[in-house]
Structure 1
Amino acid sequence: MHERRILSQRFLDDIGWGAADRCFLAGDASDRSYDRLTRGRETAVLMDAPPGKGDDPAAFVEIAQHLTGIGLSAPRLLAQDLTHGFLLIEDLGDGLLARLAAADPASEMSLYRTSVDVLIHLQSHEAPKGLADLSAKDWATAAAFCLDWYAFAATGTRPDSTHFIRALSEALGKHADGQRVMILRDYHAENLLLLPDRTGVSRIGLLDFQLAQLGQPGYDLVSLIQDARRDVSAEVQASMVTHFVEEKRLNPDTFGAAYAVLGAQRALRILGIFARLCLVGGKPSYLEMMPRVWGHLGANLAHPALENLRGICHELLPEPTAEIRDRIAAQCAKHSH
């Protein structure tokens, strides 16, 4: 970290921000972090994305330009050092939707509706060229992270994933493998900001989109309203699904199956990611979110489209009870990659 501090200071010196006041703004599950810089009345945000850690700042720049080009509010790029993984970007403020909705629950419905409108707007435009496009089997294999890490952390063994991957691949292939749209992947209330001085879909500021790829229309909706980090009211969830379906003129039953399958895929992968963040990354705080994710998983698996996968998951995955989470926590930072 000391080396990154020296490198970032050189970058700031070179672009005229070296004397700015600097304070930590945010970090996340990746190695990426953000500092807010203040220079007189000006503010900006320094993104530190260490090279070789999975988050490519060049991808952030490319996707940001696409988003702003279609009228959405991604941060403007002010300066860059792609070799060392530093970006200076526009400061979109502190109005995270998660904080605003927690402070004023009555605002949740309108905040989420505007966020869904952003998705509808995004999906009405052609995706940029070159985005990754995974097959149904690729998505299913990604979800098997739950066996490699969560089941392993909870039971001490890694179950065979053959039947799991086959069942999820079949469900995805049948219900959620149609025409692709651009998905941002981590589209949730801690990556969205309210920008009250802007109008329409530009009122929502976008963060953490550099891993965007091609996917199914319901994926980012699942990410938004089946949030691992906060409870979204049942009323808001139902209203947002209805709004999305009506605006995109989708068949409710067909979309309902796709939504459940995508929700199960995402919840399963998140369980694996959270376990790995503890075992390898030394970040036990994510374990407390597991019961919420488990609840999302159960609701999705209840759909008839996932009957085969449901039995496999019940056999291979224990519920993340307090005892199981304690068992995982006891292994924190004790495993290699």
Structure 2
Amino acid sequence: MENGNATISVTLDLPDVSAVRRFAGWIAPRLNKGDWLLLSGDLGAGKTELARCIIRQVFGDGTDVPSPTFTLIQHYESRDIKLLHTDLYRLESSEEILELGLLDETDSIVLVEWPEKLGTYVPTEAVMVHLEDIGPTRQCSLSVNSDNADFFQGLDDFIDREKVLADFLEKNGYGQAVRKTLAGDASRRRYERLELDNKRFILMDWQALPNDNDAYKAKVFLSNSVTDFRNICAYLIRCGLSAPEIFAQDDAQGLLVLEDFGTLNFTHSIDAKDPHLPIFYHETIMALAALYHHADTENPEQARQFDAKVSSPVSYDKAVILTEIQQFIDWYMPSQGKTLPDTALTKWEEIWASLVGKLEAMKIRDVMMLRDVHSPNLHWLGNRQSIRRVGFIDIQDGIAGHPAYDVVSLLQDARRDLPEDYEGRFKALFVAETGLDASDFDTAYNIFGVQRNLRILGIFVRLSKMQGKSSYLQHIPRVNGYIKDGLAHEALADLREWFKTYVPEVLEI
């Protein structure tokens, strides 16, 4: 790191497109409205590629990002942020900057290619990135005014992590693989697709953070370890299901090389109106039924290794259920401008304690409850047989729990509308395959349906406010619809009255 003339600079290598994408993933969250990012370098140095990667980090992988060479400016906007991408190559005078109105964009992020054309109009607080091809690699120099030195916070960790990843891949025979960054999810896990010798693999990068003491995660037993992922993969495979095979691992560093189930998940099949979709959901229900039957021979509580501080068997019990629905109270209610009186909160806790009591009275044995059995986490593996044709991913948070929960997760998809007959049809199939009492299962299904979707409302609001992921908010009407349907069940009459009193709009959808 150099510090001279009130400018601080850091240089790093970006040897391929994947490295550019990962760097974009580091820099994009640090850009706020009013920030200018100046991208300089010769023709072909990678300025537009870096800009495109940053824009897709901000607005999503599917964002169309044409070059602004001829239009001069491309505008992007979401609920939370605006961004301008400009290419000044064709400007003949810096005075033309005034005509473009760039200096008036105080509430936008501004990405500038060919910033040399700005002349004296370079903002003092601008972040400068210079790209240069040097031999087999591309070198990136990142510079800021010394007053903006905080921008570099975390960059050393990013550079160090890049070396850890490279060493891990080299050690395990994947050093020559072509790496392609994949879209992330709501977690802090990162994924890459590795292509080597005409084969494809997935790199999971799940770095343990030294101060990751999230009290909520601890209370509801959300995983913080690739070890949990490996153990649950092994459990599902023993049950005759398909989970990713592990080809290389470093648990201490949070790194795995996994089997690649491909790019087409159930979400794509729903969007494409795939005529085979009923088969996909039929086999998924059969797979969940197999988990139920396997729990009779292997205790699911033993499938996941929990922190040594957990001294008793872990399950999705009353404490976890009540903690999860607190997301609705803590995040969704304030987003609607509502403050509940103490009497309402007391009644809320009493109602949920009663509902959990109804679940416990059913005496239904726990299964390996995967928690997120929904379309983005399911892949159709057509070259396999029977229930192994359904590939399960994102399973690290699995916990011993009620069999109705994952059926709810599957059939009340928070992000996609399923055909109207699926819910009744596949609920009935699960009951038939497991031999569970139909009335008890229907009661449990509706209790968990309301509980899970209340939690989701809170999480969607939290992701929007804390991580800027406002795209989740578009799904709130669908989730509210599931809650309204569940509240119509007779077992939830008291909760329905509570909503009539304190949040009536949920019942008016």
Q: Same fold (TM over 0.5)?
A: yes
> Helix, strand or coil: the match of 1:234?
coil
Aligned partner of 1:142 in structure 2 is: 324
- Note the alpha carbon deviations across 1:22-78, whole angstroms, 9 max, x for none: 112231111112110001212110011121455311100111111112221111111
Aligned partner of 2:414 in structure 1 is: 228
Query: Greater shift after overlay, 275-284 or 214-223?
Result: 275-284
Match of 2:337 among 155, 176, 187: 155
Structure 2 residue 187 is matched with structure 1 residue 30: yes
C-alpha change, 1:37 and 1:249, in structure 2 (3 Å) is same
> In the aligned structure 1, how far is the partner of 2:340 from the partner of 2:230?
38
Match of 1:121 among 283, 290, 308: 290
Aligned partner of 2:423 in structure 1 is: 237
Aligned partner of 2:399 in structure 1 is: 213
| CA displacement at 1:149 relative to structure 2 | 0.7
> In the aligned structure 2, how far is the partner of 1:47 from the partner of 1:158?
42
> In the aligned structure 2, how far is the partner of 1:317 from the partner of 1:57?
40
Query: Greater shift after overlay, 208-217 or 137-146?
Result: 137-146
> In the aligned structure 2, how far is the partner of 1:58 from the partner of 1:159?
43
In the alignment, structure 1 segments of 5+ residues that lack a partner are 321-337
Please show how residues 1-337 of structure 1 align to structure 2 within 5 Å: 1=26, 2-3=158-159, 4-52=161-209, 54-126=223-295, 127-130=299-302, 132-155=314-337, 157=339, 160=342, 161-175=345-359, 178=363, 179-317=365-503, 319=505
Query: Greater shift after overlay, 115-124 or 53-62?
Result: 53-62
Do 2:208 and 2:253's aligned partners in 1 also have CA atoms closer than 8 Å? yes
C-alpha change, 1:190 and 1:285, in structure 2 (3 Å) is same
> Helix, strand or coil: the match of 1:280?
helix
| CA displacement at 1:283 relative to structure 2 | 1.1
| CA displacement at 1:175 relative to structure 2 | 3.5
| CA displacement at 1:221 relative to structure 2 | 0.2
Query: Greater shift after overlay, 186-195 or 242-251?
Result: 242-251
Structure with greater proportional helix content: 1
Do 2:457 and 2:476's aligned partners in 1 also have CA atoms closer than 8 Å? yes
Do 2:317 and 2:401's aligned partners in 1 also have CA atoms closer than 8 Å? no
Do 1:148 and 1:159's aligned partners in 2 also have CA atoms closer than 8 Å? no
| CA displacement at 1:291 relative to structure 2 | 0.7
In the alignment, structure 2 segments of 5+ residues that lack a partner are 1-25, 27-157, 213-222, 305-313
> In the aligned structure 2, how far is the partner of 1:273 from the partner of 1:241?
26
> In the aligned structure 2, how far is the partner of 1:303 from the partner of 1:288?
26
RMSD: 1.9
Bigger Cα Rg: 2
| CA displacement at 1:159 relative to structure 2 | 5.8
- Larger relative contact order, structure 1 or 2 (CA cutoff 8 Å, min sep 6): 1
Structure with greater proportional strand content: 2
> In the aligned structure 2, how far is the partner of 1:170 from the partner of 1:141?
15
- TM-score normalised per structure 1: 0.89
Do 2:331 and 2:458's aligned partners in 1 also have CA atoms closer than 8 Å? yes
> Helix, strand or coil: the match of 1:104?
coil
| CA displacement at 1:251 relative to structure 2 | 2.3
Letter in 2 for 1:57: V
| CA displacement at 1:189 relative to structure 2 | 1.2
- Note the alpha carbon deviations across 1:196-239, whole angstroms, 9 max, x for none: 11001100111011100011111000000001010112211111
> In the aligned structure 2, how far is the partner of 1:159 from the partner of 1:23?
51
> In the aligned structure 2, how far is the partner of 1:147 from the partner of 1:263?
17
> In the aligned structure 2, how far is the partner of 1:133 from the partner of 1:291?
30
